[in-house]
Structure 1
């Protein structure tokens, strides 16, 4: 897909509410919603990242951040069984009391590669999140060469995930990863061979990825073609992309939103970060082809060899590499 096709695909995901919102003052616009693949669901174009929830000193501040985001129209919540030793899920579960669960499209991830480990983690996540079902359940960190084989093996994690869906514990299923586009393609190939179709896939999509071992170039077109929901993450690369001094946070978010993604998941560890995300989402207009080329020209040199994408070239973000016991 070329840039023009990407822009057309992005526009196809955007709902009429975005066009209507353009006539409102930026501060009062609704957070735009987008289609989540073939699921029939509509999710906020910006999602709240769970890895940044659980690190606040006061639990009440975590709850305030989550509820403020939901009240403002951000309905997509990301989380994982292993974030902050489970505290991210615990705090999110408390935030979802008092009717807030009904406002959320709730996603979490599991690390277990075998059926028994995966099933136990699913149930533990449901208990922490204080809900009887997940809107989206994902296999976390497909970053190891044998992950596709282990996941789809007899007695593998996919069996536990499918059983969770049949039992009403999960509505949709997906997987995530940040290491290599080749691993994502291998996972999609394994799914096809087993007659399985993922509802969503999560991956890094940002101004640096476009230049180096690119998910945008290799995986994104496949997902768009197959109408699988695209969950963009690491739009700021943690904090590393901003350290390159080539782009601002709003530019990073706008770039990722200009791709044909259903949602861009971003860290909101403070109310200031919530407001930043809301401002970009409410005022969003896709970058033009010329604007994208200008931005990519500015970041090309810094992006060489993945210097600011530590998740691709190091184990900095690899939770399951540091804790293989999480996989079972």
Structure 2
């Protein structure tokens, strides 16, 4: 449990009482298109529970499972809705399957509140590697936003605090450093979700040497492998991957497409697994964070974190297929 000293130290840096207008969400990772059949009433058994691959965070050596989860879209639901009950099943599959890392943001309407309630109701907080973001334009707004995130997430600290899309970086970076020194976060990071932001992200990585960086990377948008990922490897920065499904657009492209002949060799049985395994097969990648609100899809995504990785030739074949 967090100490009173850490709580008071963190709280001293957060100014309460300023209500922030909702910010437009970005980097939404949609799940596979809905099937005709309804979601199962009970969560499926987690595949290979406890056998997820892990990767080390370079700055400390701490390991995290390669399959994480996001909250954009899927966790933006009413607390008293059937969707919330389904998320209770989904998050149980997630943790029972050996996953730990959740990435959220105050940008995603009420996703923080929903995730906080789920973690509290299920008693999952101590098992969760919780990542959120700062996304505001001045120090006062950042302090108010952090205080709000603590309330909504029902915690006084997070494992990772990221500066969202490099927003107001000159102000946000020193504030994030202060929160880290106060024990409000263990790691700090930088994010972006567009190729157009890669150059600025690389420059910020070199200037600030964050613990983490988050970037878009997928079979149809592999540019980060030439820009951000080599620099992360060079500097010893952990990498989270967003938009591995290209906001769900990739599923429309494969609706009538069979998996490659070699899919069984790497233990892949769905395109969702293939897209995620592509991401984690890059040696710089620490974890990928797709969002889903269904327990069956959560179980399917976890399977991507087991079995062999894709060879360089297999990765290149996928990039060519979706070019």
Q: Give TM-score, length-normalised by structure 1.
A: 0.73
Q: Which residue of 1 aligns with 2:10?
A: none
Structure ranking higher in helix proportion: 1
Note if contact 2:134-2:146 (Cα within 8 Å) is conserved in structure 1.
Answer: yes
Q: Which residue of 2 aligns with 1:185?
A: 199
2:237 corresponds to 1:228: yes
Are residues 1:151 and 2:169 paired? yes
Partner in structure 2 of residue 70 of structure 1:
95
Is structure 2 residue 137 aligned with structure 1 residue 123?
Answer: no
The reply to whether residue 82 of structure 1 matches residue 107 of structure 2 is: yes
**Mind listing any 5+ residue stretches in structure 2 that lack a counterpart?**
1-46, 260-270
| Alignment match, 2:32 | none
Contact 1:37–1:200 (CA<8 Å) still a contact in 2? no
Higher relative contact order (CA 8 A, sep 6+): 2
**Structure 1, unaligned runs of 5 or more:** 1-25, 301-328
Match of 1:279 in 2: 303
Given that 2:49 and 2:97 are in contact with CA atoms closer than 8 Å, whether structure 1 keeps it comes out as: no
| CA drift at 1:197 | 2.1
TM alignment of 1:1-328, pairs within 5 A: 27-28=48-49, 30-51=51-72, 52-55=74-77, 57-58=81-82, 59-83=84-108, 85=109, 87-97=110-120, 99-142=123-166, 147=167, 150-152=168-170, 156-180=171-195, 183-190=197-204, 192-193=206-207, 196-210=208-222, 214-245=223-254, 248-260=271-283, 261-282=285-306, 284-300=307-323
User: Is the Cα contact below 8 Å between 2:50 and 2:96 reproduced in 1?
Assistant: no
Deviation at 1:244, TM superposition (A): 2.0
CA contact (8 A) 1:110 1:122 kept: yes
- In structure 2, relative to structure 1, the CA distance for the partners of 1:297 and 1:190 (3 Å cut) is closer
CA deviations over 1:146-188 (Å, ceiling 9, x no partner): x4xx311xxx12222122112211111111111235x343244
Give a deviation string over 1:259-305, Cα, whole Å, max 9, x none. 121001111210111111122213x31112232232222222xxxxx
Instruction: Tell me how far apart the structure 1 counterparts of residues 172 and 88 of structure 2 sit (CA, whole Å).
Output: 31
Cα 1:173–1:29, aligned 2, differ >3 Å: closer, same or farther?
closer
TM-score, normalised relative to structure 2: 0.74
Displacement of 1:117? 1.2
Aligned residues: 258
- Output the CA distance in 2 between the equivalents of 1:229 and 1:49: 17
Asked if the contact 1:202/1:233 (under 8 Å) is kept, the reply is yes
Instruction: Provide the rounded CA distance (Å) in 1 between the counterparts of 2:182 and 2:50.
Output: 38
What RMSD, in angstroms, separates the aligned Cα atoms of the two structures? 2.1
